[in-house]
Structure 1
Amino acid sequence: MTRPTFSDIARHAGVSTATVERVLNGRGGVRPPTVEKVVAAARALDYPRRLPEVHRGLLRVEVLLVRPETDFYHRLSRAFERIAATLDPTVRVHRTFLKEADPESIAKRIASREQRRAGMILAVPDHPSIRAAVAGLPPGMPIVHVVTRAHERIGELIAIDNYAAGRSAAMFIARMERRPGTVIAISHHIYEVHRARMRGFADYMAAHAPEGLVFRWIGFSHDDRRLAGDRLFEAFNLWPDLVGLYNAGGANTGLVEALRRHPRGRELFVVGHELSEATEPALREGYVDVVLDQAPEAQARRALDLMLRRIGLLDMEPDTRPIRFVTVTAESL
C-alpha cells in the first residue's frame, strides 16, 4: 500500500494541504479543532509517522439520552458503547443520561462550555428550553438527533418513519381483527415521534378500517407503567366491545401486566413497539400480536457514521433515509 500523502490527509479531513503541512510539521497557527481533525485523519489513513500524543482523544462526541430504565434507551446506549469501542482512539464518545422530566437541566447540559466537543448526538425531548440551547450552540457544530428532533431546523435526524409505523400498526389491526368493535391507542404526548405514529394510525383507520371497527380513543400514559395499566382498565370498562389496542409509546411492562390481569386480556389484538423483556414473552403467550421494533442499534450506528462524516473522519456520505423498523410476531421469534 502506498504511503498517504498530505493531499490524501487533507481530503480526508476536509482542509487544505497547507493546513496539513502546518499541523504535521508542528508549525502552529492552526485552530485546535482543525488540528484534531487533521491528526485523526492521519491516524485513520495509517500515516507512517509518529503523531503528537497531545492530540489523542481530543475529538469528543457527546451523546445525551433520557430514561435509562427503558429497554429502548438501554439498548441505544449499549449500542453507542459497543460502536465507540471500535473507533479510532482519537475519537471519544461520552454518554450521559439526563432526566426526561427536567428539560431545564437538559438545556443547561447542551449549552455547557465546560468540555470542548466535536459534535453532539441528542436523544432528548422537544421543549422550548432545549430548542433554545441547541440554537445557541456554536455555528457549524455537527448536531445529530436520534429517535426524535430536539430542534425542528438545526441538525440531522436519524429515526424510523414514525408516521409509517403508525399506519402499519393500523393496517395489522384493520386486516387481522375480524370482529367489529372499538379500537384504542395509548401514547406519550410529549414526543413528536409518538404524535406522528398517532397521525399515521388515525389516518389509516379512517381510510381503511372495515365497517364496524372504530378507532375511538387515545389514552395518555406519560410512558408510566402504572398509569398505562390504569388507562387500559379504564378502556375495558368504557367499551365492552373493545377488540384492538395500539401502544404507540413505551410503558410496555405496565400494559402487559394489565393484559395478564384482566379476564379479557387475551381477547384484544395488540400492536406495540420495541422487542424487550416485556414484549417478547407477551408475544409468546399471546397477549401481544405484533411488535414494531425500531432497531436502536442501527440508529446508533447511523448516527455515529453521520457524526464522523460531519467532523471529517469518513469519506462516504451515510445513508440518510429513515431506519427500517422490524416487524416481530410470535412466529418470528
Structure 2
Amino acid sequence: MPKPTFHNIARLAGVGTATVERVLNGRGGVRRELAEKVIAAARTLDYPRRLPDVHRGIFRIDVILVRPETTFFSRLSQAFGRIAATLDVSVAVHRTFMDEHDPAAIAERIANPETRRAGLILAVPDHPLIRSALAKLEKEGLPVLQIVTRAEGVRADYVGIDNYAAGRTAGLLLSRMQPSKGTIVALCHSQIYQVHRDRIRGFSDYLAERPRDGLAFAAVLFGHDDAGHSADWLFEALRLWPDLVGLYNAGGANASLSAVLRKQTRGRDIFFVGHELTERSAAALREGVMSVVLDQAPEAQARRAIDLMLARLGLVGEAISNDPIRFVTITSENL
C-alpha cells in the first residue's frame, strides 16, 4: 500500500495538514489533545516512521483480565507486572480484573475508560456488548490487542496459542496413547470463550477425522471452570459411562477433577489431558492421575502483547512478528 500522506492523516484526525506536519516532525506548538489525535491517526494508517517523543507524555496501557482466583490468570497478571517494571518510566501498565459474568460492565470499561489511555490489552468473554464496544474503539483508532481468547468478528490482533491445534493435539494424544477401548468426554467452561470453543472443535474434529475402533466421543460437559460443578459432572460421567477411558479438560478446575479420579478405583486408568501447568497439575502428573498437560505459557503471551503494543504506539522501531505462541506438552517424564 502507498505511504499515507499528511493529507490522509489530517483528514482522519480532523485537523489541518500544518498540524500534522508539526506533530510528525516534532516541532511542537500543538495542544496535547490534537497531537494525540494526529499520532492515533498515523498509527491507524500505518505511517512508516517512529513517532516523535516530544508528544509522548505518559503512555497508559490498560490490561483487562477476568478470574483472578485462577492460577493461569494470576500468572498472566504477574507477568504483566514484571514486564511493566522493566519499561521506560513514560509507559504505565494498569491491570484490572473484572467479573466475567458482567459483560455490560466490561463493555462499559472498554468503551468509556476512567482515565486517558494509549492502548488496551484484554482477555475477556466473547459477548455482543463487548464486540460492540471494541468496534467503537476500532473506529477511534485506539490500539487494541486480544490475549488468550478473542471476540468473533473483531479486527484487533490476537496474541495466544493456536487453540484449535491444542484441541487436535489433545485428541491425537488421547487416541494414540490410551490403548483401552471405551468412552471419551470433554469438559470446558462454557461457550462464552472463543478459546474453549476452538479447543473443543479441534478435539472433536480430530476424533471425527481419525476415528479409532472402540473409542467413542460421547459428550461435552460445561463445568464453568468451577471446582464443584466440574467435579459433579465428572462423577455423573463416571456413572453414565462405566467404560470411561478418556477425559479432556479444555478449561480450568483440573485439581477438582484430579481429586475425583484419585478416589476412583479405575481413576488412573482414565487418560486425562488438561491445560496449564500448576503445582497441583504437576502433582497429578507425578501421581499418574493426569496423563498430559498442555501449558500455554502466559508469560510469553504477556511479553508478546506488550512488545506488539509498544510497536503499535511507535515506541519501538523494529517490526514484531505475531506467530502463535508455542504451547508446551508436559508429561510426568519432562516436569
* TM superposition score category, shorter chain reference: 0.7 to 0.9
Percent identity over the alignment is 53
How far apart are 1:321 and its partner, in Å? 1.2
Equivalent-residue separation in structure 2 for 1:215 and 1:163 (angstroms)? 17
2:3 is aligned to none
2:208 is aligned to 206
Q: For residue 315 of structure 1, what is the amino acid of its counterpart?
A: G
2:96 is aligned to 96
Per-residue deviation, residues 8-37 of structure 1 (Å, max 9, x unmatched): xxxxxxx977436555xx533563427999
Which aligned segments of 4 or more residues in structure 1 are displaced greater than 4 angstroms? 15-18, 20-23, 34-37, 40-43
Determine if the alignment matches structure 1 residue 148 to structure 2 residue 152. Answer: no
Q: 1:120 to 1:305 in 2, by over 3 A?
A: same
SS in 2 for 1:243: strand
How far apart are 1:210 and its partner, in Å? 2.0
Q: 1:139 to 1:36 in 2, by over 3 A?
A: closer
Equivalent-residue separation in structure 1 for 2:185 and 2:63 (angstroms)? 35
Per-residue deviation, residues 129-181 of structure 1 (Å, max 9, x unmatched): 11111122252100000011135223110111111000100101110111111
Tell me if the contact between 1:185 and 1:245 (Cα under 8 Å) persists in the aligned partners: yes
1:33 is aligned to 36
Q: For residue 174 of structure 1, what is the amino acid of its counterpart?
A: S
2:16 is aligned to none
Per-residue deviation, residues 192-222 of structure 1 (Å, max 9, x unmatched): 1111111111111112232101111111101
Structure 1, 60-69 or 209-218: larger mean CA deviation: 209-218
1:178 is aligned to 179
**Which stretches in structure 2 are left out of the alignment for 5+ residues?**
1-18, 41-49
1:291 is aligned to 293
| TM-score, normalization by structure 2 | 0.85
Equivalent-residue separation in structure 1 for 2:144 and 2:183 (angstroms)? 42
| TM-score, normalization by structure 1 | 0.86
SS in 2 for 1:133: helix
Tell me if the contact between 2:22 and 2:29 (Cα under 8 Å) persists in the aligned partners: no
Tell me if the contact between 1:22 and 1:28 (Cα under 8 Å) persists in the aligned partners: no
Q: For residue 33 of structure 1, what is the amino acid of its counterpart?
A: E
2:126 is aligned to 126
Q: For residue 208 of structure 1, what is the amino acid of its counterpart?
A: R
Q: 1:142 to 1:42 in 2, by over 3 A?
A: closer
Q: 1:297 to 1:181 in 2, by over 3 A?
A: same
SS in 2 for 1:266: helix
Tell me if the contact between 2:63 and 2:93 (Cα under 8 Å) persists in the aligned partners: yes
What pairs up with 1:1-333 in 2 under 5 angstroms? 18-19=22-23, 22-23=26-27, 26-29=28-31, 31-33=34-36, 56=57, 58-137=58-137, 139-189=140-190, 190-333=192-335
**Which stretches in structure 1 are left out of the alignment for 5+ residues?**
1-14, 44-50
Q: 1:317 to 1:22 in 2, by over 3 A?
A: closer
Equivalent-residue separation in structure 1 for 2:39 and 2:90 (angstroms)? 8
Alignment RMSD: 2.3
Equivalent-residue separation in structure 1 for 2:153 and 2:71 (angstroms)? 26
Equivalent-residue separation in structure 2 for 1:109 and 1:261 (angstroms)? 44
Tell me if the contact between 1:107 and 1:129 (Cα under 8 Å) persists in the aligned partners: yes
How far apart are 1:278 and its partner, in Å? 2.0
1:46 is aligned to none
Equivalent-residue separation in structure 2 for 1:29 and 1:219 (angstroms)? 56
Tell me if the contact between 1:143 and 1:154 (Cα under 8 Å) persists in the aligned partners: no
Instruction: State the aligned residue count.
Output: 306
